């Protein structure tokens, strides 16, 4: 259901303002309207019947599709260089829908191990209960990843920048490896957003986001989105559900009906419809606002983060700073390749005095907020080992790059001098 006019080859900042939106001829509203409706009046019984078979243009019910959600989906698809997108209720929902569109009970997924804590428990507990086994492998161990792939594997999953290890995924290598095994590479790009990296340009097939973070940008709404590159050959024999004719589709298949949009069509028509992981049009509207300021905000996030990281790197009370764009950082070269506009605004530090000092530091901040979130316009601080990654065993924590003394910072858009001053007074107390 794309309502796109070809607007030529527009640049990123322009797509962020206009992508996916055509001014509605009847009202001519400049801003994207919020279609706060559950359902749509059918033209007649024939049109209704064809919509239910995924044919023709039009909307049925907002659990499946909604015009405001569609603007958000088309805009982010354009920003990522994909062919289509499906917006859902959260980042977790985006990961569930993306991966279960590929894998069913009995199938397997290979994931890199430096992952968001919620993704780790989704994979290790809930997917396991659903009969989908996820193998976790060090994201830099390409032989290990290849070794974990077998006949049942349906996808490789990674994060652009691991949370909170900040491991930068070698997406070109991972996608080559996936494609050699006739598998899609699914990438969680929450920490980078399409402003800092477009994983599809490096070979990723499916991109997911928690739009809760930088895309919303103001810590106000939970949401997620799945973007499809449109490049994966679903008819390669490994994904029969994409090519089998279905009675509910008038004996057609997703590939036949939706062509290069088959993945999004299947995700929307099956899991989106059945699981009900719908995004509200109001949240989509907030994410559209977020996309419009994304380029400006990301620039400032990165500038502030670099300044604060450099300041802390030389601080006498700081043991170590992990931020890939610091000179001398082991990932500096990777960052130049994959993140030339900056490595985001999330980084970790270890302060002298270990766990106890870390706690005192967090309890002493005043301007910074101690919350379980990242990507807010406000600067946030968290102790991953006892919060976001508390469900992992000590060994799993180490494998995911979580250490006891580690503090995670998500640098916001305040004046950098004020962020520094608050960090400084908290460091003095710790």
Using CB under 6 A, which residues numbered 187 to 246 contact ligand PLP? 188, 190-191, 210, 212-213, 222, 224
Please give the distance of CA 376 from its chain centroid, rounded to a whole number: 15
Tell me whether residue 54 or residue 115 sits nearer to ligand PLP (CB atom): 115
Q: For residue 237, with 0-12 CB atoms within 10 Å meaning exposed, 13-18 middle and 19 or more buried, which class applies?
A: exposed
| Out of 101, 163, 306, 345, the residue judged to bind ligand PLP by CB under 6 A | 163
Task: Decide if residue 325 touches ligand PLP (CB under 6 A).
Answer: no
Whether the CB-CB separation of 74 and 4 falls below 8 Å is answered with yes
Alpha-carbon gap, residue 101 to 259, rounded angstroms: 16
Separation of alpha carbons 155 and 411, rounded Å = 33
Given the complex with ligand PLP, which of 51 and 169 has the nearer CB atom?
Answer: 169
Of 301, 115, 292, the residue nearest 216 (C-alpha): 292
In whole angstroms, the minimum distance from the beta carbon of 34 to ligand PLP comes to: 20
Alpha helices in 246-280 (DSSP H): 254-258, 262-266, 273-275
Judged by CB under 6 A, the stretch of 85-93, 146-154, 351-359, 417-425 that binds ligand PLP is 85-93
Identity of the residue, 203 or 223, whose beta carbon is nearer to ligand PLP in the bound complex: 223
Q: Considering the complex, state which of residue 255 and residue 279 has its C-beta at the smaller distance from ligand PLP.
A: 279
Minimum distance, C-beta of residue 345 to ligand PLP, in the bound complex (Å):
13
Among all residues, whose Cβ is closest to ligand PLP?
91
Choose the stretch contacting ligand PLP; rule: CB under 6 A; options: 71-79, 90-98, 234-242, 261-269: 90-98
When asked if residue 410 is in the footprint of ligand PLP (CB under 6 A), the reply is no
Q: How far is the CB of 189 from ligand PLP (least distance, A)?
A: 8
Dihedral sign (CA 113, 118, 124, 127)? negative
Task: Tell me the three state secondary structure of residue 407.
Answer: strand
345 counts as binding ligand PLP under rule CB under 6 A: no
Give the shortest CB-395-to-ligand PLP separation in angstroms: 21
Show contacts with ligand PLP in window 115-134 (CB under 6 A). Answer: 116, 118-119
**In angstroms, what is the C-alpha Rg of the chain?**
22
Which residue, among 413, 401, 179, has the nearest Cα to 299 in the 3D structure? 413
Residue 364 has a CB neighbour count (10 Å cut-off) of 16
With beta carbons less than 8 A apart as the criterion, state whether 218 and 199 touch: no
Q: Which residues bind ligand PLP (CB under 6 A)?
A: 90-92, 116, 118-119, 159, 163, 188, 190-191, 210, 212-213, 222, 224, 374
């Amino acid at each position: 259901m794309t309502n796109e006019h070809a607007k030529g080859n527009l640049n990123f900042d322009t797509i962020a303002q206009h992508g996916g939106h055509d001014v509605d001829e009847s009202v001519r509203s400049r801003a994207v309207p919020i279609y706060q409706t559950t359902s749509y009046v059918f033209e007649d019984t024939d049109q209704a019947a064809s919509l239910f078979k995924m044919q023709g243009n039009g909307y049925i019910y907002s659990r499946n599709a909604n015009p405001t959600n569609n603007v958000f989906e088309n805009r982010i698809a354009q920003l990522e260089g994909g062919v289509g997108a499906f917006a859902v209720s959260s980042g977790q929902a985006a990961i569930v829908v993306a991966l279960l569109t590929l894998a069913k009970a009995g199938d397997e997924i290979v994931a890199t191990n430096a992952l968001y804590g919620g993704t780790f428990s989704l994979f290790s507990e809930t997917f396991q209960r659903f009969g989908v086994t996820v193998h976790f492998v060090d994201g830099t161990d390409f032989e290990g990843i290849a070794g974990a792939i077998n006949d049942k594997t349906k996808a490789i999953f990674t994060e652009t920048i691991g949370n909170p290890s900040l491991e930068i995924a070698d997406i070109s290598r991972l996608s080559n490896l996936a494609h050699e095994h006739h598998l899609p590479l699914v990438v969680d790009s929450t920490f980078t957003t399409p402003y800092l990296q477009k994983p599809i340009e490096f070979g990723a097939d499916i991109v997911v986001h928690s739009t809760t973070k930088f895309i919303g940008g103001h810590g106000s709404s939970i949401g997620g989105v799945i973007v499809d590159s449109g490049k994966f050959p679903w008819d390669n024999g490994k994904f029969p559900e994409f090519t089998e004719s279905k009675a509910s589709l008038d004996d057609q298949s997703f590939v036949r009906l939706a062509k290069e949009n088959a993945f999004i069509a299947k995700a929307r028509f099956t899991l989106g419809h059945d699981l009900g992981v719908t995004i509200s049009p109001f949240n989509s509207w907030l994410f559209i606002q977020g996309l419009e300021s994304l380029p400006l905000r990301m620039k400032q996030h990165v500038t502030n983060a670099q300044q604060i990281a450099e300041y802390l790197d030389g601080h006498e009370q700081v043991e170590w700073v992990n931020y890939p764009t610091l000179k001398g950082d082991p990932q500096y070269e990777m960052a130049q390749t994959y993140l030339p506009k900056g490595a985001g605004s999330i980084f970790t530090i270890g302060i002298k005095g270990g766990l106890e000092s870390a706690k005192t530091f967090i309890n002493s901040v005043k301007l910074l907020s101690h919350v379980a979130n990242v990507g807010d316009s406000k600067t946030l601080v968290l102790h991953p080992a006892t919060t976001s990654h508390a469900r992992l065993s000590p060994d799993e924590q180490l494998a995911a790059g979580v250490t006891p003394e580690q503090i995670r910072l998500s640098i916001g858009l305040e004046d950098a001098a004020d962020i520094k001053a608050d960090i400084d007074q908290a460091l003095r107390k710790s």
